[in-house]
Structure 1
């Protein structure tokens, strides 16, 4: 991996780690439904402008069912579930729970293909469970009322990402940019009917609205563009290493900006979750470092 790709990878991890910070700031004020409708619509509008610049047609009439599936499982459901969790859990805890997505993806993929899990995957899954137990056991916010439901919602959000990953591997071939663009419009349309019935918990100040804009445009729209560039330059498998870095930044931003308490148990749990994810995905850091890519990135 060359320096430019490494910088993009770290930047993407920092941005996606920041999504949990911005969700934690804005969800208790706006509520999950209003917040996520803002998020997906801002992302869709940004990607629509980029589609014009890049001359990438959406072909919605041809691929609307595909976009709908991605919009459900890679957008609306996980975004709403994490926003619900953010009313109780810390940004740090959510970013760590999100790291279980590849583990769920491997399990769902094996069930979908009717292939038994190998020993490495089973061991990685067990480590993931242990790591999650440590994380939620040492996060002081989990002692609050409703924390159990919030934790379950966050894990279901990661599970939904696993469904989306499995579906994408077997679905029709549509370029990555159009997948993101179309799925954001689909997610926005699906959430829209619930907006009139969703209560706003408090008046949104300037700081909250800035967090919403950052969540929609930076953490969703711009992040997708960075991710697609990484896929093009270093391949989809190597680009997935961002999964291992997101909790690092999620914990860092939560500590710096929200003064979240990071216990030794949470740190140990996050490391165990990441190790379990690495085992499940077959991640080899040495192979990644040795991979040669074109230098004109």
Structure 2
């Protein structure tokens, strides 16, 4: 990987590892619809002008149904559930539970037509990852936060499902216009609920800073860096940074917010990360004539 690729990779590990911290701060002063609206509206305002440079989205008429499904499952539902869940559980726990998304993606793919055979290592990865989720979620269930845990796991399920829709129905759609349109549509959906729950007094500076960070840094800038990373290293390598996000989320929660770093959190992180790596590992294809691996990257 080039130096530029490593820089973009590191940036994405941070940019999509800190939203949980910022959401935790934002929910202290504004409503859930307000958080989602600000994040999507500002993100769309930044990305739409960039997307329009590529011309009118002529593909929109034919692809609006899968695009609507993708926007709903990737943005509209999970961003609201995340914000509501973090009113009750820590940001570090939220980030770790979301890390189960790759494991859920393997399960969903298996039941929706993915013909790839799961070997022993991938089955072991699924079991290890699920064990990690149980280690993390078990104590929280006993502390009276079962609904918050369910919300985050539903978010993980959404994050596992949306890429499958994109890969199967939107693979030839340009990423930047697609993202800008999805953010704009989500902003329209949340505009009325945000207006109805608009704060009567100006929120504290730290809440305003968290909202600005979510919108400008974790959404608009993050998507721009993500697209640059895809162009630099390809889509498969670009997604490896998702294994770094949980560590960033836990570190940010512990250092900035003083959230506890318990033995169960460390154990769950190790189990979920190991399970995700094993469950998503792909066996190299074999050349029919020589039996040698093909398509490997140097």
TM surpasses 0.5: yes
The answer for the alignment partner of 2:150 in structure 1 is: 152
The answer for the alignment partner of 1:223 in structure 2 is: 222
What does the per-residue CA deviation read over 1:22-50, in whole Å, with 9 as the maximum and x for residues that have no partner? 00101232121111111111111111233
Within a 5 Å distance, the mapping from 1:202-241 to structure 2 comes to: 204-241=203-240
Secondary structure, counterpart of 1:174 in structure 2: coil
Aligned length: 284
User: Structure 1 residues 217 and 64 mapped into 2: Cα distance closer, same or farther (>3 Å)?
Assistant: farther
| 2:31–2:194 contact (8 Å) kept in structure 1 | no
Q: Distance in 2 between matches of 1:143 and 1:256?
A: 25
Secondary structure, counterpart of 2:17 in structure 1: helix
Secondary structure, counterpart of 1:30 in structure 2: coil
The answer for the alignment partner of 2:281 in structure 1 is: 282
The answer for the alignment partner of 2:123 in structure 1 is: 122
What does the per-residue CA deviation read over 1:203-242, in whole Å, with 9 as the maximum and x for residues that have no partner? 5212111110110111011111111111111111111111
| 1:30–1:202 contact (8 Å) kept in structure 2 | no
Q: CA RMSD in A?
A: 2.5
Secondary structure, counterpart of 2:87 in structure 1: coil
The answer for the alignment partner of 1:2 in structure 2 is: 2
The answer for the alignment partner of 2:181 in structure 1 is: 182
Q: Distance in 2 between matches of 1:128 and 1:100?
A: 7
Secondary structure, counterpart of 1:17 in structure 2: coil
The answer for the alignment partner of 1:132 in structure 2 is: 133
The answer for the alignment partner of 1:87 in structure 2 is: 87
Q: Distance in 1 between matches of 2:24 and 2:202?
A: 16
When Rg is computed on C-alpha atoms for both structures, the one with the higher figure is 2
1:199 Cα deviation after fit? 7.3
TM-score by length of 2: 0.87
TM-score by length of 1: 0.87
| 1:138–1:266 contact (8 Å) kept in structure 2 | no
User: Structure 1 residues 143 and 190 mapped into 2: Cα distance closer, same or farther (>3 Å)?
Assistant: same
| 1:88–1:144 contact (8 Å) kept in structure 2 | no
Q: Does 60-69 or 228-237 show the bigger shift?
A: 60-69
Q: Distance in 2 between matches of 1:250 and 1:277?
A: 17
1:104 Cα deviation after fit? 1.4
1:120 Cα deviation after fit? 3.4
User: Structure 1 residues 242 and 218 mapped into 2: Cα distance closer, same or farther (>3 Å)?
Assistant: same
Q: Distance in 2 between matches of 1:77 and 1:256?
A: 29
**Long gaps (5+) in structure 1:** 293-297
User: Structure 1 residues 70 and 262 mapped into 2: Cα distance closer, same or farther (>3 Å)?
Assistant: same
Q: Distance in 1 between matches of 2:85 and 2:139?
A: 17
Aligned counterpart in structure 1 of residue 164 of structure 2, from 149, 163, 166: 166
| 2:43–2:215 contact (8 Å) kept in structure 1 | yes
The answer for the alignment partner of 1:242 in structure 2 is: 241
| 1:28–1:201 contact (8 Å) kept in structure 2 | no
| 2:48–2:181 contact (8 Å) kept in structure 1 | no
Secondary structure, counterpart of 1:159 in structure 2: helix
User: Structure 1 residues 272 and 283 mapped into 2: Cα distance closer, same or farther (>3 Å)?
Assistant: farther
| 2:129–2:271 contact (8 Å) kept in structure 1 | yes
1:192 Cα deviation after fit? 2.9
User: Structure 1 residues 27 and 114 mapped into 2: Cα distance closer, same or farther (>3 Å)?
Assistant: same
| 2:73–2:158 contact (8 Å) kept in structure 1 | yes
